[in-house]
Amino acid sequence: MDLYPLFNSLRIAAISSVFVFLLGIAAAYYIAKLPRIIKGVLDVIFTLPLVLPPTVVGYLLILLLGPKRPLGSFFYEHFDIRLTMHWWSAIFAVTVVVFPLMYRTARGAFESFDHNLEDAGRTLGLSNTYIFWRIRIPYCKQGIIAGVVLSFARALGEYGATSMIAGYTPGKTATVSTAVYQLWRTGNDALAVKWVLINIAISAVVLLAVNLLEKKERRA
C-alpha cells in the first residue's frame, strides 16, 4: 500500500493550516476595527469560499494561476515556474477553501475578548503588539486552537479545488481524497475503502480534540 497520498495530504494540510492561522487571525483582528459597512462587505468576500462549491473555487484559481492566466503566466515567463499541477499547488486551493473556517472562528473568539484587559494593559504602558500576543491571544486561545484543528481536518479532506489545480499523479500530487476517487473509478474498491477508513479515523481524532477543547473552554 503506497502511503504517499497520506503523507502528501498531511503536509498540504499542515502547511495550509499555518497560512490559514496567520491570515485568519490577522483578518479577524483588523477587520473587527473597520466601519460596519466595510466590515460587512469583507465578511461576505472572506466567507464566500465556505459556501461556494469547491470546484468553483478551483476553477477561479485556475483562471488566476493557470500558465496562460495573469499571475500564472508571470511566474511561468519570468521564473519558469508553473503554479498548477504540482503537489504544492494544492496549498493554494486548500488555503482558500479553509480560510473562512479559521477567520470566522478567530473573529468569534476575538469578539468574546474582555476589552477591559486591553485597556488595563495600555494604562500600564504595554504596546499593542505585546497586548495582542501576550493578552488577547492567550485569552482567546481555546477558540483559536479549535479553529486551527477544524481547518486542518477540512484541509485533510479537501477534494474539489485540489483535484482541479493539482490534478492526480501517483507519487507526485496524489492525496487521500483524490486517491479514493481514482481507486473507485478504476474499480479498486478494497483499497479505496482502506483510505476511507484512514480518513475517517484521522477526522474522528481531530473532532474529538475539538470537543475536548470546547469542554475545557466551558469549564474555564
pLDDT per residue as tens digits for the range 57-86 = 999 999 998 888 888 888 888 888 888 899
Q: Is the pLDDT of residue 11 over 70?
A: yes
**Which of 25-34, 126-135, 188-197 holds the top average pLDDT?**
188-197
Q: How is residue 105 written as a grid cell?
A: 472562528
Average pLDDT over residues 129-155: 85
Query: What's the pLDDT score for residue 7?
Result: 93
Alpha carbons within 13 A on the beta-carbon side of 193: 4
User: Angle 4-31/176-185 helices, nearest 10 degrees?
Assistant: 130
What does the alpha-carbon distance between residue 158 and residue 9 come to, in Å, rounded to a whole number? 9
Q: Which of 145 and 93 is assigned the larger pLDDT? A: 93
Q: How is residue 143 written as a grid cell?
A: 477558540
Instruction: Look up residue 159 and give its amino acid.
Output: Y
Burial 43-81 (b: 16+ CB within 10 A, else e): beebbebeebebeebbbbbbeebbeebeebeeebeeeee
**Integer Rg of the chain from CA:** 20
CATH of domain 4-219: 1.10.3720.10
- Please report, for the chain, the start and end positions of each structural domain, with discontinuous segments joined by +: 4-219
Tens of pLDDT, residue by residue over 26-67, are 998 888 778 888 888 888 899 999 889 988 999 999 999 888
Average pLDDT over residues 149-177: 89
Strands of the chain, DSSP E: none
Backbone dihedral angles phi then psi of residue 104, each to the nearest 5 degrees: -65, -40
